[in-house]
Structure 1
Amino acid sequence: MKMKLSVAFAAIALAGCTTIGPDRPATQPDAGRALLFSDEFDGTALDRAKWTPIGADFWVNDEQQAYLDRPDVIEVRDGKLVLTPRFAPGLDTNAKRKADFIAGRIVTQGKFEFTYGKAEARIRMPDAVGVWPAFWLLGGGQWPNTGEIDIMEYIGDKSWTGTAMHGPGYSGETPFVDRFYFPEGEDVTGWHTYAADWTPDHVEFSIDGRPTYRVTRAMVEHYGKWVYDTPEHIILNFAMGGAYPGKVNGITQPYYGIPQSTVDRVKRGELAMEVDWVRVWGPQR
């Protein structure tokens, strides 16, 4: 039986480890942290007091989907958020893009934003080349001048996930990017807790409590301004293809970054990003 962490219980800020679900233990925050935000996805619909779905006008990175606010792409069921891409030619209203896929993207902008703390989410993803699910933080100003922290990006090689940071002078093909390769017996299709601990001086990424990558203020200031002193909001999305998958896998047909095998699985409704919970803890005191 899956255990969920309540706000009241979380305020105790226990250290150590609690088993959540049959697949992985999920680490608890260090003592001295307060719970700032939590969505356990225990209801039957997206909590719109916490999240806003993004619509079809949004388009970046040559991605091959249109984001739509529909229950078949953004669903809460069985204690999880489920983001499911669909093959739906003709639904895209952007004549310049004409995407054949639709998908979901939700943000906390204007509803919850924070400066410093630990953001984490328990996620599992499909084994499918060319998909691009992500869990990340973004500042509210013009990109990249208020910073982007990519806690988890996955482009379809189940053996690894990526992290990155983008800001003025170090955006796009940023020097601050890292891959975490799972140890033998693990991959992205299992449940994992992806986290970033953000302080005034560094951002440290971890998976299942294992530190994977650390970017310091000094490292950033070698390339440009450290812009991680203002509020950022949370984003969960399921993109299809586009610049990052396409540059890595070299696929151009039938869609940029997406092979026919993945298209066929989308048509059958086999692919989804599942999110068990999202939590943000305050800075360590």
Structure 2
Amino acid sequence: MKKLVRKILLGIFFTTGGGVFAQDLPVEKKTDTIFFEDFSGSSLDRSKWNVEGTDFWVNNEQQIYIDSSATIFTVKGAEAGGVENALVLKAHYSPNYLNYRGNDFDFISGRINTRDKVMFTYGTAAARMKLPEGSGYWPAFWALGGGDWPATGEIDIMEYVGETDWIGVALHGPGYSGETPLVNKYFFPEGEDVTDWHVYSVDWTPEGFNFRVDGRLIYRVTKPMVEIYGNWAFDNPKYLILNLALGGAYPYKTNGVEEPYNGLPQSTVDLIKEGKAEVLVDWVLITQ
């Protein structure tokens, strides 16, 4: 089945839980797959993915990442949310798990990337994902350059901070990092939200970016738009990242929650304790 999905994606359409939408690519365009992962193995394929651990922490996030089958694993059948098999990134409440840089961490979660294993310059990167309901969750699908940040650029293909009716996309680089002006929110049509399966993608060319949800164009950024603010940081290889963060800077700026954790309300802490902090990923695809 997933081979069929890949063939559809390499043609004209994205197939999603909400239907079939035109991808706005000409029929005659030839597309080459440089990476496809359907998470059909019994565990994460370490030849394709790196797992990040406790030595990484940014943005005042309230979780610490660990390399564990508790936070990063694959599932099949009923546990896969309606698809054949999927990757799960799962957060857990784990009081006093670690003190790092003077901070006590009560939550653990998962973050993976393709750095030095799958790097690409230009093309389309897409992932089909199902996200959890809960204010202060901060999962993302994004890409970074192999060098220093922000000099080698950041492409945020999908960010979600717990308001189920929208996701965000953004670009970061020298002169436009952090509170970047190159950002947009996409609000789902009535009857859809982030808890459904959706395809999040970006078309990256030397001239700019087209961000899409389920094939719908939601934001276009051109190279001249970027260069108003700083140097174009998108002519170098990028690697993909999937992660589930909790609380921190972006959720806090959205929900204003300070207690019991920065950007993470008690209602979401309760969801985490109930085992409901899961991001499902059906597949990831890069084409050129």
Normalising by structure 1, what TM-score? 0.93
Tell me what 1:141 maps to. Answer: 147
Q: What SS is found at the alignment partner of 1:246?
A: helix
Q: What SS is found at the alignment partner of 1:262?
A: helix
Match of 2:241 among 211, 216, 235: 235
Match of 1:217 among 184, 198, 223: 223
Gaps of 5+ in 1: none
Gaps of 5+ in 2: 77-84
CA distance in 2 between counterparts of 1:260 and 1:166 reads 31
Q: How does 1:108-187 map to 2 (within 5 A)?
A: 108-187=114-193
Tell me what 1:107 maps to. Answer: 113
Amino acid at match of 1:67: Y
CA distance in 2 between counterparts of 1:116 and 1:199 reads 5
CA distance in 2 between counterparts of 1:106 and 1:54 reads 6
Aligned length: 277
CA separation of 1:159/1:189 partners in 2, compared to 1, >3 Å: closer, same or farther? same
Tell me what 1:260 maps to. Answer: 266
Q: What SS is found at the alignment partner of 1:90?
A: strand
Equivalent residues of 1:56, 1:93 under 8 A apart? no
Match of 1:59 among 47, 57, 60: 57
Equivalent residues of 1:24, 1:192 under 8 A apart? no
Amino acid at match of 2:224: A
Q: What SS is found at the alignment partner of 1:5?
A: helix
Q: Does 1:36 align with 2:41?
A: no
CA separation of 1:72/1:277 partners in 2, compared to 1, >3 Å: closer, same or farther? same
Give the deviation of 1:91 after TM superposition.
2.1
Identity %: 51
Q: What SS is found at the alignment partner of 1:76?
A: strand
List structure 1 segments (4+ residues) > 6 angstroms apart after TM superposition: 26-29
CA distance in 2 between counterparts of 1:97 and 1:26 reads 45
CA separation of 1:194/1:14 partners in 2, compared to 1, >3 Å: closer, same or farther? closer
Q: What SS is found at the alignment partner of 1:100?
A: strand
CA distance in 2 between counterparts of 1:150 and 1:203 reads 11
Equivalent residues of 2:35, 2:285 under 8 A apart? yes
CA separation of 1:14/1:274 partners in 2, compared to 1, >3 Å: closer, same or farther? closer
Give the deviation of 1:92 after TM superposition.
2.0
Equivalent residues of 2:10, 2:31 under 8 A apart? no
Match of 1:17 among 13, 19, 25: 13
CA separation of 1:23/1:76 partners in 2, compared to 1, >3 Å: closer, same or farther? farther
CA separation of 1:26/1:280 partners in 2, compared to 1, >3 Å: closer, same or farther? farther
Give the deviation of 1:155 after TM superposition.
0.1
CA distance in 2 between counterparts of 1:202 and 1:50 reads 27
Match of 2:201 among 192, 195, 198: 195
Tell me what 1:94 maps to. Answer: 100
Q: Does 1:68 align with 2:74?
A: no
Give the deviation of 1:93 after TM superposition.
4.7
Give the deviation of 1:98 after TM superposition.
1.5
Give the deviation of 1:25 after TM superposition.
4.0
Equivalent residues of 2:198, 2:213 under 8 A apart? yes
The CA deviation string for residues 208-252 of structure 1, in whole angstroms up to 9 with x for no partner, is: 000000111000100100010000000000000000000111000
More strand by share: 2
CA separation of 1:128/1:145 partners in 2, compared to 1, >3 Å: closer, same or farther? same
CA separation of 1:14/1:264 partners in 2, compared to 1, >3 Å: closer, same or farther? closer
Give the deviation of 1:96 after TM superposition.
1.7
